[in-house]
């Protein structure tokens, strides 16, 4: 019997995923978690075949949750199902250990295909994402400025570009205002920029806003 853990802060969306999984896999057991802490608790209590994980959640975000889950359960297939387009987070999630990446705007049947693929030990990515991943490992491949940032710096950049204040970002990430200010200074330095306005223009141009 297939056992799938669905992790998303929206009960309505979890219900939709549950229905799709039940349609594709008769008799499947579906677990639900509303945030990363609940997910980790459920993973520690019982074995699961696949975890379907969102990126944007209260508290620990999906990227940090993925890293923690893979650290504790390295063999667990984790499929990212996110509202964010591939170019925003997919490469980072795959490099962090995700076994597949789907957008919530994709066709419903893709979810069943993706779960089947990662459960069998494979990776599920679109042709465009596969091409982008190959490009990142080519010797001498040019990188965009935001690709030089750490995962946390990248998250802060996206939030700044979305118009969030330092205080709002601190609350969103569970970090102090001074820590966010430090990340902001590092981002400006690494990207050779001086103001939030420049960062915002860059984020919008690249389509990276949260």
Mean pLDDT of 98-122: 91
Fold assignment, 3-136: Rossmann fold (3.40.50)
Reply yes or no on whether the pLDDT at 141 is more than 60.
Answer: no
How much is the pLDDT for 172? Answer: 82
DSSP string, 7-76: E-S-HHHHHHHHHHHHHHSTT-EEEEESSHHHHHHHHHHS--SEEEE-S--SSS-HHHHHHHHHHH-TT-
| Arithmetic mean of pLDDT over the chain | 88
56-79 residue pLDDT tens: 887 788 888 999 999 999 999 999
**Which regions of the chain carry the CATH code 1.10.10.10?**
145-206
167-189 residue pLDDT tens: 999 888 888 999 999 999 999 99
How much is the pLDDT for 13? Answer: 92
Q: Identify the CA nearest to 20 among candidates 142, 114, 155.
A: 114
Structural contact between residues 101 and 129, judged by C-beta atoms closer than 8 angstroms = yes
How much is the pLDDT for 117? Answer: 95
**Which regions of the chain carry the CATH code 3.40.50.2300?**
3-136
Report pTM: 0.73
The 10 Å Cβ neighbour count of residue 5 is 23
Q: Which CATH number fits domain 145-206: 1.10.565.10, 3.10.20.30, 2.60.120.380, 1.10.10.10?
A: 1.10.10.10
Long-range contacts at 193-197 (CB < 8 A, ≥ 24 apart)? 196/160
């Amino acid at each position: 019997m297939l056992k799938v853990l669905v992790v998303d802060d929206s009960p309505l969306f979890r219900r939709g995923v549950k229905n799709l999984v039940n349609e594709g896999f008769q008799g499947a057991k579906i677990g639900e978690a509303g945030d990363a802490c609940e997910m980790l608790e459920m993973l520690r209590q019982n074995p699961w075949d696949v975890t379907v994980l969102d990126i944007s959640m209260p508290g620990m975000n999906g990227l940090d949750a993925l890293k923690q889950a893979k650290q504790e359960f390295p063999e667990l297939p984790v499929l990212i199902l996110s509202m964010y387009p591939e170019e925003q987070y997919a490469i980072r999630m795959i490099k962090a250990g995700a076994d597949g990446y789907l957008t919530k705007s994709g066709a419903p049947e893709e979810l069943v295909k993706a779960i089947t693929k990662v459960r069998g030990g494979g990776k599920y990515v679109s042709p465009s994402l596969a091409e982008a991943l190959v490009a990142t490992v080519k010797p001498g491949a040019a990188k965009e400025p935001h690709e030089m940032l750490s995962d946390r710096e990248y998250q802060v950049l996206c939030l700044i570009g979305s118009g969030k204040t330092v205080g709002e970002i601190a609350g969103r990430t569970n970090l102090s205002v001074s820590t966010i200010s430090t990340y902001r200074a590092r981002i400006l330095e690494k990207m050779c920029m001086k103001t939030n306005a420049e960062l915002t223009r860059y984020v919008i141009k690249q389509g990276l806003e949260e």
